Structure 1
Amino acid sequence: MHNGFIRIAAAAPTVKVADVGFNLDGIKSKLMELESSRVELAVFPEMSLTAYTCGDLFHNATLLDAAAKALIDLRDYSKNLNVHFAVGLPVRHAGALYNCAAFIRNGKVDLVSKSYIPNYNEFYERRWWRPLPPGSCETVEICGETFEMSSGRIFRSHGTLVGIEICEDLWVPIPPSCRLAMAGAQIILNLSASDDLIGKYKYLTSLLQQQSARCLCAYAYAGAGWGESSTDLTFDGKAIICENGATLQANRRWDPSDNTSIADVDIQALERDRIHMTTFADCSSTECKGITIEDSSSDSSICITCQNSGSDTLAQALLRNIDPHPFVPAGSEAIHERCEEIINIQVAALAKRLDAICCHTLTVGISGGLDSTLALLIAVRTFDRLGLDRKGIIGVTMPGFGTTDRTHSNAVDLMSHLGVTSREISIGAAVKQHFKDIGHNPENHDVTYENSQARQRTMLLMDIANQTGGIVLGTGDLSELALGWATYNGDHMSMYGVNAGVPKTLVKYLVNYFASEAPEKSEVRRCLLDIIDTPISPELIPADSDGNIRQKTEDLVGPYELHDFFLYYMLRYGFTPERIYLLARNAFTADEYSDETITHWLSVFMCRFFNQQFKRSCLPDGPKVGSVCLSPRGDWRMPSDASSTLWRQNR
């Protein structure tokens, strides 16, 4: 593997029914293509040496002998190949025929027999094949040589563990791949010859995604295609690679020229999830009996095409999509659905909290920025759902030394048009008195200057909440919590943090969702769209001479899209900084961020993530909305004094 990735392929080259020589040449030609693409592991369709639709010719010695000789030919051909591969063929043994996959590696052959033989509808495979009971292992003779044939074995390939199943094996209630995965197989190869019917492809792709998710594995599927007999059936030549619930690559069906899918599989991510999901190991301890794993010396990878390459060459140009915004789904429809789901989670959580404490009033600070806007919108929808008067939501705008006319106007207008109670309290005089009390020079715009404003605002919100018999609704988001971009005991504190599980890159999509729901020419929509376009800022430093925001958050702590990317892969998969950098280098173009820029902000992220844990250790309650969460009561428990040295040295 290279940086935890292995390049795999599913291929369905054109075949001729019963023409073993033609099929053998096609497989060899495809192997050379895969070799040039630096593929390390490949799967071909069921009966790929003979074609699947040979019918009773499978009982003819001429066809069986040709398939046997082709196997030996491929075995010898593989000796100088880096790619390991599985092909399908019929195997004679002890007076019976077996539907087998031959796993071929650098001159070595292992046979895996199909476990479940379909004999219903268009399938009548029992006419030819016999199943090999699970866990069985037989010694078979082919062309005077002996080979092992099993139905429950895991093989080693390029540092990974590989399991094999054949077509129908996937469709049964408990596929062999389940037990293989629980015994350690990280990649499942499926040699298939599933014919095409109306609606079947969609069902199959869903099945492949779900099986890869259930088994926390990569799943490569190669289905018979062009050249198979159309006497009764039609085959579309599917080549699909899935990983942990997602399709990494799928070819264009019905096109003989597009018969291969290649993708880089993230073994490191799969292994992390298996470790993290404790119930996976619980299942493994009881369900993988009878599965054997090859001795480590069996992995005879020679890596011809890669031996002169740098260790990170493969990861520099990954054959998989690395989304630069992992928290944001691709496509407007998917974003719309995600926003609806997140909003419903936030609203349900806040509604439960209000109901539990019999509370009918909320106090929320409104700055005219994205986070406080989202919190206000969630509060409004929650009150509407509970049948409460929106006037019970007390929005407080607290202009200070850095507040601009734009954000102040948006804050006031939004509260007015949403129909909530609006209050305005300038904090200037109180903070200046505080500076006088503690002996701070107001011309010194240091951390004391900034944090005094944040704490004054929080004090006002807390006192107003007491005054009105309500609670303070926090506005800080997940990204700010990761970076510690909040004033301790200032905006860091509230009675309920409704945005605590929402990353910054997603906040603007949620606000935009509310804007799209508002009437087209309404003032609410106008306000929301302008808030989305406003630079992110805490507005704690005075504006410039033209009244524009001078203190821009991303100039200080770095681009949020980078930090959210780092956060996702740090928490979701536990990746090293080096690996996160490699993924970022694939996700973002050099025009967007240079190598030096990514490295710099990654270092900043690691320093802040560790140094600011003390703020997360005493967070208010707040709802989890996604797979990444920093709640100290659930998802993320880290000592506040943990050292970041290893993470800063890693890159």
Structure 2
Amino acid sequence: MKIALAQINPVVGDIKGNFKKIIEFINRAKYQKADLVVFSELVTVGYPPKDFLFMQDFLEANEKYINEIVLPATYQIGVILGTVRQDTEGNLYNSAFFIYDGKIVEVFDKTLLPNYDVFDEKRYFKPAQIRKVASFKGIKLGVNICEDIWKDYVFEPSVDYSVDVLEEQFKLKPDIFINISASPYYLGKQNMRVEMIEKKIKKYAIPFVYVNQVGTNDELIFDGASFVVNEEGKRVVQLKAFEEDIKIVDMEELKNFKELPEIKEDISWVYNALVLGVRDYCKKSGFKKAVVGLSGGIDSAVVCAIAVEALGKENVLAVSMPSRYSSEGSKSDARILADNLEIEFRVIPIEPVFKSYLSVFNGDNNVIGDLAEENIQARIRGNYLMFISNREGHIVLTTGNKSELAMGYCTLYGDMSGSLAVIADVPKTMVYELARYINREKEIIPTSIIEKAPSAELRPNQKDEDSLPPYKILDEILKMYIEENRSAKEIIEKGYDERLVKDIINKVNRVEYKRKQAAPGLKITTKAFGTGRRMPIVHNFKL
């Protein structure tokens, strides 16, 4: 049997557009003489559809397109695709339809419904009560959906799955396992998936086909990177990461395929994820152009370089907004970076407006030097960028990193102003890794930007480490607290200063009100600030 792995990029709610793409890939599979084409989870509506699932018009449109568009396209080819199913009592299921010759031959409902981190599937769906297989051209297909294969590999404390979907399907003697997924990416995820499936298949000794969604929806980036593992538990087929792709696999020839080398999931994966994140977020939101405030610092430099890769140099505008505190080095670094990227560059000083604020609130142009004066400079810059956005149609990309966002070292309605926070889940130490990766072939980001001490430049001789611990130490503690959910005691036992640890944790907890008002940030770690981390704004818990 020849199976086509169809890895496509659906748009949430663009049901007509998604079906058009599905038909295109079905036809490509037919042209290449495939017997069966497999799509990803909820591909007809895009993942995650969230509360659209409560709208009857949404569900009816999806059903209409399945009946009128997909069914007629399945003559002489089998199709497995992820969609929403509604039963006669109004219950919803996350389902895989197996369609052939214009008929829905079998329906597989998802059994294990994730309800942790960014997932809310129990809010919408009922779980499958039975496991099943489907026969097609003499081959038994064990079809399952995303989380159904993750038993014993989910390390959230609240998750304890009692059903082993693969084990129950295996008892029905399938010839092939097929998993359709919408598995969001974070650094290390692809190797985790491969290792998990290889280990399971060494037990079951039948081939495994894994098809994953690709593309960005809101803050979630889906890497695709679909693959096939043969009956010996070896990955022998690999699709592209962060791109649409289709590959035809002759399942009878898998024994003759060579095992692929282990994927080197390094900083390039984070870079490609963020590029896809920016490109898709802008395209799906209807923006062609972006504007970035270029300070001469490393964060805005990295964001600007990613934007150019994602949107093209002709679609990125960099704006330098110097103040009386901006160093000559920062101003020249910003210009050099823009020249290296070959993008439009404007200089709009904030000094006249800053003087007006000082005159209104200080009674003259004298400087008090307090936090209000520091923050108003960031807010003037934010207003400048939003003015350009409104007048010229550019999306504003914010440039704050995860370390700053964690500690509240950012200004509401200032540097936090914008539509997408590109590196909001990238720790400061990883920002430097990205900068070095961007410069891997030639110097794009000036070396002086990478080597100089980070500074907001909102007062004379200001340095980030005046307000924050050294980033290396800060990022280590933040990772343990936010991503690994470790207690203060556990972190202190690793050798970190008790007072420092408690101070960092208290600051993280205290500034939730800022993060609730931040632009959505692209997720590339196991735990990002956003839908997967739900903390109260108003509280009085303190270490």
What TM-score, normalized to structure 1? 0.44
Among 277, 286, 289, which residue is 1:349 paired with? 277
Q: Does the 8 Å CA contact 1:369/1:531 hold for their aligned counterparts?
A: yes
Tell me which residue corresponds to 1:578: 489
Q: Does the 8 Å CA contact 2:521/2:529 hold for their aligned counterparts?
A: no
Q: How does 1:295-306 map to 2 (within 5 A)?
A: none
Tell me which residue corresponds to 1:275: 157
1:552 and 2:493 correspond: no
Among 443, 459, 467, which residue is 1:541 paired with? 459
Tell me which residue corresponds to 1:301: none
Tell me, in whole angstroms, the C-alpha distance in 2 between the residues paired with 1:446 and 1:336.
48
Q: How does 1:416-455 map to 2 (within 5 A)?
A: 416-439=339-362, 442-455=366-379
1:629 and 2:540 correspond: no
Shift of 1:336: 8.1
Q: Does the 8 Å CA contact 2:273/2:524 hold for their aligned counterparts?
A: yes
Q: Does the 8 Å CA contact 2:481/2:505 hold for their aligned counterparts?
A: no
Letter in 1 for 2:470: P
Tell me which residue corresponds to 2:398: 474
1:644 and 2:541 correspond: yes
Tell me which residue corresponds to 1:510: 434
Deviations for 1:398-431, whole angstroms, at most 9, x for unmatched residues?
1112211111111011101211110001111211
Tell me which residue corresponds to 1:50: none
SS in 2 for 1:603: helix
Tell me which residue corresponds to 1:609: 508
Tell me, in whole angstroms, the C-alpha distance in 2 between the residues paired with 1:569 and 1:615.
21
1:490 and 2:414 correspond: yes
Check 1:517–1:430 CA distance in 2 against 1; reply closer, same or farther (3 A cut): same
Check 1:336–1:437 CA distance in 2 against 1; reply closer, same or farther (3 A cut): farther
Shift of 1:442: 3.8
Shift of 1:617: 1.1
SS in 1 for 2:397: strand
Tell me, in whole angstroms, the C-alpha distance in 2 between the residues paired with 1:505 and 1:460.
29
Q: How does 1:58-69 map to 2 (within 5 A)?
A: none
Check 1:369–1:577 CA distance in 2 against 1; reply closer, same or farther (3 A cut): same
1:398 and 2:321 correspond: yes
Tell me which residue corresponds to 2:472: 561
Q: Does the 8 Å CA contact 1:394/1:420 hold for their aligned counterparts?
A: yes
Shift of 1:274: 4.4
Tell me which residue corresponds to 1:532: 450
Deviations for 1:28-65, whole angstroms, at most 9, x for unmatched residues?
xxxxxxxxxxxxxxxxxxxxxxxxxxxxxxxxxxxxxx
What TM-score, normalized to structure 2? 0.52
Shift of 1:443: 2.1
Among 487, 501, 507, which residue is 2:425 paired with? 501
Letter in 1 for 2:321: M
Tell me, in whole angstroms, the C-alpha distance in 2 between the residues paired with 1:335 and 1:368.
35
Structure showing greater radius of gyration is 1
Q: Does the 8 Å CA contact 1:511/1:528 hold for their aligned counterparts?
A: no
Tell me, in whole angstroms, the C-alpha distance in 1 between the residues paired with 2:287 and 2:329.
33
Tell me which residue corresponds to 1:361: 289
Shift of 1:536: 0.7
Letter in 2 for 1:562: I
SS in 1 for 2:346: strand
Shift of 1:530: 1.6
Shift of 1:643: 2.5
Unaligned runs of 5+ in 2: 1-149, 169-261
Among 619, 623, 635, which residue is 2:518 paired with? 619
Among 371, 378, 381, which residue is 1:457 paired with? 381
SS in 2 for 1:471: strand
Letter in 1 for 2:319: V
Shift of 1:455: 0.2
Check 1:284–1:444 CA distance in 2 against 1; reply closer, same or farther (3 A cut): farther
SS in 1 for 2:266: helix
Among 311, 316, 335, which residue is 1:412 paired with? 335
Q: Does the 8 Å CA contact 1:368/1:408 hold for their aligned counterparts?
A: yes
Unaligned runs of 5+ in 1: 1-212, 217-243, 245-272, 289-333, 385-389, 519-523, 543-549, 586-594
Shift of 1:555: 2.4
SS in 2 for 1:415: helix
Tell me, in whole angstroms, the C-alpha distance in 2 between the residues paired with 1:395 and 1:283.
53
Q: Does the 8 Å CA contact 1:274/1:281 hold for their aligned counterparts?
A: no
Letter in 1 for 2:284: A
Deviations for 1:591-648, whole angstroms, at most 9, x for unmatched residues?
xxxx6xx3332222122111100011122122101112011xx211101112332xx2
Shift of 1:281: 3.2
Tell me, in whole angstroms, the C-alpha distance in 2 between the residues paired with 1:339 and 1:465.
31
Letter in 2 for 1:357: S
Tell me, in whole angstroms, the C-alpha distance in 1 between the residues paired with 2:540 and 2:163.
35
Tell me, in whole angstroms, the C-alpha distance in 1 between the residues paired with 2:166 and 2:308.
50
Deviations for 1:75-98, whole angstroms, at most 9, x for unmatched residues?
xxxxxxxxxxxxxxxxxxxxxxxx
Tell me, in whole angstroms, the C-alpha distance in 1 between the residues paired with 2:167 and 2:361.
67
Check 1:449–1:404 CA distance in 2 against 1; reply closer, same or farther (3 A cut): same
Q: Does the 8 Å CA contact 1:347/1:382 hold for their aligned counterparts?
A: yes
Shift of 1:392: 2.3
Identity of aligned residues (%): 28
Letter in 1 for 2:299: D
Check 1:274–1:395 CA distance in 2 against 1; reply closer, same or farther (3 A cut): closer
SS in 2 for 1:516: coil
Q: Does the 8 Å CA contact 1:557/1:604 hold for their aligned counterparts?
A: no
Check 1:562–1:214 CA distance in 2 against 1; reply closer, same or farther (3 A cut): farther
Tell me, in whole angstroms, the C-alpha distance in 2 between the residues paired with 1:401 and 1:335.
49
Shift of 1:287: 8.4
Among 311, 327, 338, which residue is 1:383 paired with? 311
Check 1:403–1:514 CA distance in 2 against 1; reply closer, same or farther (3 A cut): same
Q: Does the 8 Å CA contact 1:432/1:442 hold for their aligned counterparts?
A: no
Q: Does the 8 Å CA contact 1:365/1:396 hold for their aligned counterparts?
A: yes
Tell me, in whole angstroms, the C-alpha distance in 1 between the residues paired with 2:298 and 2:541.
31
Check 1:622–1:572 CA distance in 2 against 1; reply closer, same or farther (3 A cut): closer
Letter in 1 for 2:161: A
Tell me which residue corresponds to 1:231: none
Letter in 2 for 1:621: P
Q: Does the 8 Å CA contact 1:336/1:513 hold for their aligned counterparts?
A: no
Letter in 2 for 1:281: Y
Tell me, in whole angstroms, the C-alpha distance in 2 between the residues paired with 1:502 and 1:457.
23
Deviations for 1:257-311, whole angstroms, at most 9, x for unmatched residues?
xxxxxxxxxxxxxxxx3414x2x434489989xxxxxxxxxxxxxxxxxxxxxxx
Tell me, in whole angstroms, the C-alpha distance in 1 between the residues paired with 2:380 and 2:156.
46
Check 1:418–1:434 CA distance in 2 against 1; reply closer, same or farther (3 A cut): same
Q: Does the 8 Å CA contact 1:512/1:529 hold for their aligned counterparts?
A: no
Shift of 1:370: 1.1
Tell me, in whole angstroms, the C-alpha distance in 1 between the residues paired with 2:447 and 2:438.
10
Check 1:570–1:283 CA distance in 2 against 1; reply closer, same or farther (3 A cut): farther
Letter in 2 for 1:528: P
Letter in 2 for 1:450: E
SS in 2 for 1:400: coil
